[in-house]
Amino acid sequence: MGDTPVHTLNDSTTLPAVGLGTFPLDDAEAEEA
């Protein structure tokens, strides 16, 4: 935590979590998943 939150998809594609809200989960859930 502290770095820019990103969502890593299972094809190694990373998307910035900023403004996405749920993609597919909330930031807290995505980090724990």
The per-residue pLDDT for range 1-33, each reduced to its tens digit, is 456 667 677 777 776 656 555 555 555 655 555
DSSP designation for 4: P
The pLDDT score that the predictor gives to residue 24 is: 56
The pLDDT score that the predictor gives to residue 33 is: 52
The pLDDT score that the predictor gives to residue 23 is: 54
The pLDDT score that the predictor gives to residue 1 is: 46
Structure-derived torsion over alpha carbons of residues 21, 18, 28, 32, reported in degrees to the nearest 10: 110
The pLDDT score that the predictor gives to residue 12 is: 72
Side-chain half-sphere exposure of 17, counting CA atoms within 13 A: 20
What is the sign, positive or negative, of the torsion defined by CA atoms of 11, 14, 20, 24?
Answer: positive
What lies within 8 Å, CB to CB, of 20 at 6+ separation is 7
The pLDDT score that the predictor gives to residue 16 is: 65
